[in-house]
Structure 1
Amino acid sequence: MIKRSRTIYVATMLAGLAGLSACGSQAASTDSAADLPVPVAVQQSAAPLNPQGPGELPELSGADEPPADEPPATEPPATDPPAAEVQEEEQAAPAPAASPTVAKKQRWVKIFSGPSQQDITPPKSRLTGSKTVELNATENEQIGTYVTDGAGRTLYRFDNDSNKPPKSVCNGDCATAWPPLLIKSPGKIFPDGIDPKIVGYVERADGHCQVTINGWPVYYFVADAEAGDINGQGLNGKWFAIKPDGGKTAATPGPLGTK
């Protein structure tokens, strides 16, 4: 009995570690159970019994026949609404939003053609990756259009990195100050305002997968406390909020942009 319990415990640990597999490994998907049909219990009420016995129709209370010398009352024929009203109703009805489709695949990561139609809850911590990542184009009066994650947190690029080929050189203490945006297996990325064809990932030195835009690895900044913060903008002249095309946004005026 003890031997069996240990076997179950080890199997459970291995199943948990599968979700933390390295960047290049395909983790076993646990979504199959979610795809199973859910049975719906339908309760049908029994047909009422005929108190008059089989072969006889039940009496209809309140159904009086019209007098023989009077013609039965008839309802006026239904008239169709004018064509102009029908056309106006068709124009007023909004067209349903098209579901995003898979625009690109990079091994076990699917990049979709647009934002998800379902609400996605991003991880609270910037240090943990996620199987589902949102990228949104966001406007800012100081620096222009830049990219945020699903929680509105600013994403940056590092001039010392490269995009051809994609490579991150921010490791160790650098990655502590600038946590990379990680994608886990099996991953899905939903970009809004970013061309899905230029979205992907790169394998880091530690084996994890980091999201890229036009080949540039993207990061958070540890000093950004709330959505919309851009405290890392222009830091050391090398860190900039990333644009939807992968370029650098303009440095902020004043001390922040000249550090």
Structure 2
Amino acid sequence: MKKVTLAMKPTSKSFIPIEAESIVPKNFLSGTDLSVWRGNRELGLDEVFSVSVEGEADRPEDIEVVLSGETFRLKRVGEYMDDGKITVLGDIGMHCGNFMSGGTIEIHGNADGWLGREMAGGTILCRGDAANYCASGYRGGRKGMTGGTVEVFGRAGHFLAENISGGVVTVHGDAGDMAGAEMRDGTLIVHGDCSRPAANMKGGSCYVYGTAHAMLPTFKKIGTVRHEGQTLIHFTGDIANRGKGNLFVKDYRYLD
């Protein structure tokens, strides 16, 4: 097992984000001679981080990368990651886990926007809150997350799992507006409240264990079901789009 610890060095330019798509486990198989970008400057990994390495590995699945310090400045960590593990001991910046297909990313703090954008596999665990567009597709795209698992233990922002086409997204707190919008397949679970869930959904299953505020009238009520020990109201739709998805809510309020 190989453990690579990257502790961010203090800097007077902490307001400038760092593009760190090179930080994926497989890139550390041959050492730590990698680079990142701060603005228009390419910097060696050791210019931004204090780097330490323990152990050895021949496969990405046996590598763990641990990030600490002002990690909220790091963008695109874990982009195209396919194996191994990344542990973030604080907050993380935008686009963490872009296009991820395998491995595990664990974030001990909060995650900025686009967490797990268009991911195809693997696991993302966010112990704090996740900002807007978690597990969604990019603006103008028609496909969001297609596989894997995202679990947020805090709250999630707006457009959670927009365009999701596979995989499982779970939020233990509340979510914002339009959770599961344009959903095509997969599973979305919100343990708290949200508003206008599953708008224009075509397929898949969305569960809201709290209250669905501003519930859209274009869902057909089927009845009730028991799920995870709770009674949920079952709707199908979005019939405005001839959708055949399933929406399950504990309670709902139509828009006044």
TM over 0.5: no
Structure 1 or 2: more helix by fraction: 1
Q: What is the TM-score of this pair, normalised by structure 1?
A: 0.26
Q: What is the TM-score of this pair, normalised by structure 2?
A: 0.26
- Rg larger in 1 or in 2? 1
